[in-house]
Amino acid sequence: MTADTGSRDFRVLWRGESISLVGDRVATFAVPTIAILTLHATTFEVGLLTMATYIAYPVSGIGAGLLVDRFTRRRMMVVAGAARLVLFMSIPVAQRFGVLTIEQLLLVVAVSGGFTLLYDVALQGYLPILLPGHELLRGNAAVETSRSTSQVIGPALGGALSSAFGATYAVALNATSFLGSILSVMSVRTDEPPPEPRSPGDTVVGRLREGFAFVLTHDLLRPLTLCAAVRNLGITVTKTVIFLYAYRALHLSVHTTGVILATGAVTSVLGASVAGRAVRRFGYGRTLLFTVSEGVMWLMAPLALLGHPAAVLGVIVTFASPWLPIWNSQVAVARQVLAPARLQSRVLASIRTIGWGTLPLGSLLGGVLAVVFVGAFGERAGLALTIVVGGLIATSAGSWLLAPAVRNSRQVPRAHWLANRPAVEVS
């Protein structure tokens, strides 16, 4: 493989991924909108729907790395894309025949979440094959920029399509977007190393243990992963009720809610674009510490009940958004630099299982807290209080779990070196 071939294949893969990410964000907006406004889901059912979206991480996350290691990454990505296309297309088909139910939505998002996990693990393991080490930071930043850009385009597009044609039409668009991802993966030309052969004494339990042991005994990856677990728990509490808060507490329209989420996501793109410069200016550890601001902003959610709801919620979302892509790009580089090549998929799957395994728990907790608080304080105050609790949990992660990571970040000087390399051309 030449450098030009690797860069070309990365660009192809990145563009296809960008298309499917936009579709994903459209569905992230449209599916709960269908549940709330079409199927009249209860507060608890909305919590279950969000939980189903993330249930794959603790349930199948452990085995994702093993599956990716046993097959070529290209094959796993094509299969995952095709499965998600079929699953999401079933929603508008069922709606067309008048048989769509909340149970089907739960099943679709749960199963598709498993295939999304497989795709993501394979993609992250593919990047070090397509890009040389000095280009990994920029490659990860490009993926994060696409992820953040999709947060701008997706909600606005989802809101516009839902308002004009119905939310199920928006879900159909998401399904077809996976074609872009499938075609891009199939057009990659870079030769992929064959799966690592298994030795006679190589057991599933042993391979799983090796990935988890590397993460949990590492002075930097361990606190970063535990911090992500607590932080994701809190942020998912807020995300579980944000649509309920917008529609039922603040009485915002579907279109306005989409515009707010899209406007806030503009700063997410900004965060992804300045991640490398932030590390050069403030250092790796301090940059990670700044990302605690995401949880702090959600503590201000009740202010939307006092002032102009659309403007206040827009400000909160705007200033809460840039930190996650900064975190993701920097942690991805640390993991790709520190983990041995043969452990990349298993280490990533271990990190996702631990760090993202709290997502369904956060969704369930958000639904339960919303039911309790709404019953005690009314819908408006109860939903706002639920968001505040989520913000407090997320903020606490930075106050006591990020400190060890900041202290130990000097153990990866190569991550600083990578951040200062010239940008890889991805356009």
State the Cα–Cα distance between residues 249 and 41, nearest whole angstrom. Answer: 15
Residue 157, Cβ neighbours under 10 Å: how many? 22
Q: pLDDT tens digits, residue range 380-400?
A: 999 999 999 999 999 887 666
Which pLDDT tens digit goes with each residue over 272-295?
Answer: 778 777 777 877 777 888 888 888
- For residue 265, give every residue at least 6 positions away whose Cβ sits within 8 Å of its Cβ, in sequence order, or none: 148, 149, 151, 152, 154, 155, 317, 321
Place of tokens 């705007």: 318
- Greatest mean pLDDT among 275-284, 317-326, 338-347 lies in 317-326
Task: Tell me what pLDDT residue 235 has.
Answer: 92
Better-scored residue on pLDDT, 180 or 317 = 317
Indicate whether this model's pTM tops 0.75: no
- Structural domains of the chain, ranges and CATH numbers in brackets: 3-186+207-417 (1.20.1250.20)
DSSP character string of 308-359:
-HHHHHHHHHHHHSSHHHHHHHHHHHHHHHHS-GGGHHHHHHHHHHHHSTTH
Sign of the C-alpha dihedral computed for residues 169, 158, 303 and 237 taken in this order: positive
- The per-residue pLDDT for range 153-182, each reduced to its tens digit, is 776 677 777 777 778 878 887 788 888 788
Which tens digit of pLDDT belongs to each residue from 228-279? Answer: 899 999 999 998 899 899 988 999 988 888 788 777 777 877 877 787 777 7
Q: What does the pLDDT look like over 344-374, one tens digit per residue?
A: 767 877 887 888 888 888 888 998 999 999 9
Range picked from 212-226, 325-339, 383-397 for highest mean pLDDT:
383-397
